[in-house]
A and B are shown apart, each in its own frame.
Chain A
Amino acid sequence: MSTAQADSGPVRRARMLFVGLGALLVVIFVLSLLAGRYPSPGLLSIEQIQTDQMAYNIVFRMRLPRALLAVAVGMSLAAAGTVMQMIFGNPLVDPGFLGVSQGAAFGAGLSIVFLGNSPWLIQGSAAFFACLGLIVSYLVAWKIRYGSWVLRLILAGICVSAIFTSLLGVIKYAADPTSQLAELTFWLLGGLSAITWQEVSIVVPLVAFCLTGLLLFRWRLNILALKDSTAFALGASTSLERLFILALAVIATAAVTAVSGLVAWVGLIMPHLARRLFGADARFALPGSMLLGAVTVLVCDSLSRVPFAAEIPLGIVTSLFGALFFMALMTSGSVGVKK
């Protein structure tokens, strides 16, 4: 790194923040492994884990895969949110945009009500329709004959999301209210209670691949955040590069959404918070957003399962805190957005 770069205050500050956030993530990760309601509400000791087989199984077979997936969910949604907000030049965009969230919800609903209620089928169907949401949005945007590429994608995303929402409404209407409708509602509220090593073994490598690609590409993301013609003048192959980066973001989002259900607000708020802490440069804002996302989802997941005997769905916790936090962020006048 250059002397000029290394000496600059913002870079030094960003480095310190990364170290601090990284340490916080490790601490919260360990605490989330130890915190729970066995044998009584509170923290397990190392000795208990070594001596009590049940405690050992709970930590390593239930809480560890769940915590790993919480990190994957937080990082993926926050990274995808950062990427999409930058590419679309719109700070109110979230990763479910472009029909991805509604596609996943429709896919899950279709599986729960019509195709069979196995976890694998629900996850596969949700992932398939999430990706289909993006593909259809992209193809529709291609066919729209006016407006910039970004505007066309936004319009296409709104239409595709609305179609999936309507179809999900039909499925809900047709669902058995005593069993299927409840199951679908729980899925839509989002949660990590059913996570095992099986899900982790598929989702985490896929997410790691996508996030590594996004991290490697992160400075280039600054160029793609500019106006189309400006990015082009700076040597970018705008359509191709945007497609590549969007595909990575959407695959990561689809992979985690398929197993976690809809976890709202993380992808919308973390990019704002990261930009406030690290500045707009995606070299720092993207990894910063990922770390913040991981910490937030881990904390929210622990809050969803530890304080009460009955687990609260994760999506409810993230929505509650997310909305409150977003209000505070906006009223503090530091969102850093000007049109």
Chain B
Amino acid sequence: MNEAILEFNSLRFAYQQGSALVLEDFSMQIGRGGVVAVLGPNGTGKTTMLMLALGWLTPAAGTIKLLGQPLAQYARRELGQKISLVPQFEPTFFDFSLIDFALLGRAPYLGSFSMPGPQDYEIARQALAKVGMAEKAERSVMNISGGEHQLVLLARSLAQQTELMLLDEPTSHLDIKNKSRLLAILRELVAEGKTIVFTTHEPDVAAMIADSVIMVKGGRVMHAGRVADVMTGKNLSEIYDTRIEAGEYAARRVFLWD
């Protein structure tokens, strides 16, 4: 494996003291570059895992390292320059224009009393262009479709210019066309040297884009490795408690379930 960008060692986490553990003895290592899919059924701790990687949640036990350094040793802004999040869904209460919204990704580089400058605008415009939304830059974030909203969230994350990008179920609200568009953008980003970790409960999406996969169930890592090795019918059946068959069609892995 390449040099690790993100490591979880024996993590234990519960949302409240004394309540049920969401993650238990959770260990994984993600190498630099490429796409890693975190696959598992609903409510298995995938989003919790991302929030721990961000530092938003703190584990009850275990350690998290980013680029070999414990997460707790990073300053807030420094962390925002290294790791970004594309949430699954983000409610929008105020009608920011798309360019102003993408510009928010520059926050980790600006002081509390600073305003975004020419360079920040340029980066935000490039981020919108990357997701194909440059022409709609002045449109309101409240007047776009769900698929476009997902792309704008990705643009904000791109404006953050982080090496590691976390995406929480990025395809869950998208139709097939937008899914395909998003996956193409992710492939471009990987080619540019980014590391992408995304959660999903769709095996097909994981197989289409990921280099490696981490299968999670009940707050534990059940299987981890290259897609071809790990995404077998047997493993998937175990994860989802449903009989799943893996096959190939037109040189792509497909999954059939009962």
Contact = CB atoms under 8 A, between A and B. Distances in A.
A2 B91 contact: no
A219 B107 CA distance: 9
A1 B120 CA distance: 11
Nearest to B114: A219
A234 B16 CA distance: 25
Contact of B77 (A145, A227, A235): A235
A280 B100 contact: yes
A339 B93 contact: yes
A232 interface: yes
Q: How large is the interface on A (under 10, 10 to 19, 20 to 34, 35 or more residues)?
A: 35 or more
Contact of B138 (A8, A145, A229, A337): A8
A337 B143 CA distance: 11
A235 B79 contact: yes
B87 A229 contact: yes
Interface string B69-100: 00000001111110111010011111111011
Nearest to B112: A220
B94 A86 contact: yes
Q: Which of A86, A90, A220, A283 counts the most B-chain CB atoms under 10 A from its CB? A: A220
A230 B92 contact: no
A263 B173 CA distance: 45
B160 interface: yes
Nearest to A240: B76
A281 B96 contact: yes
B118 A2 contact: yes
Nearest to B77: A235
B125 interface: yes
Interface stretch (B5-13, B50-58, B229-237): B50-58
A3 B119 CA distance: 10
Nearest to B125: A4
B113 interface: yes
Contacts of B125: 4
Contacts, number: 109
A3 B117 CA distance: 10
B54 A223 contact: no
B93 A89 contact: yes
B117 A2 contact: yes
B61 interface: no
Contacts of A91: 93-94
Contact of A230 (B81, B85, B97): B85
B161 to A, nearest CB: 12
B190 to A, nearest CB: 20
Nearest to A225: B94
B41 interface: no
Contact of A225 (B56, B87, B93, B105): B93
A227 to B, nearest CB: 6
A41 interface: no
Contacts of A217: 112-113
B175 interface: no
Nearest to A146: B16
Contacts of B110: 219
A246 B181 CA distance: 41
A2 B76 contact: no
Nearest to A271: B94
A232 B54 contact: yes
A338 interface: yes
B91 A339 contact: yes
A81 to B, nearest CB: 13
Contacts of B114: 219
B251 interface: no
Contact of B95 (A90, A228, A279): A279
Contacts of A2: 117-119, 121-122
Contacts of A235: 76-81, 107-108
A237 interface: yes
Contacts of A233: 54, 56, 80, 83-85
B116 interface: yes
Interface in A1-49: 1-5, 8-10
Contact of B118 (A5, A219, A236, A339): A5
Given A86-B94, A222-B96, 10 more contacts: A10-B138, A220-B107, A227-B90, A230-B85, A233-B54, A234-B160, A280-B94, A281-B97, A337-B93, A339-B91
16 contacts: A2-B117, A2-B118, A4-B122, A8-B138, A86-B94, A89-B91, A216-B113, A220-B107, A222-B104, A225-B93, A279-B95, A279-B100, A281-B97, A283-B115, A338-B93, A338-B142
A-B CB proximity, top 10 nearest = A235-B80, A2-B118, A235-B108, A280-B94, A233-B85, A234-B107, A235-B77, A216-B113, A336-B95, A4-B121
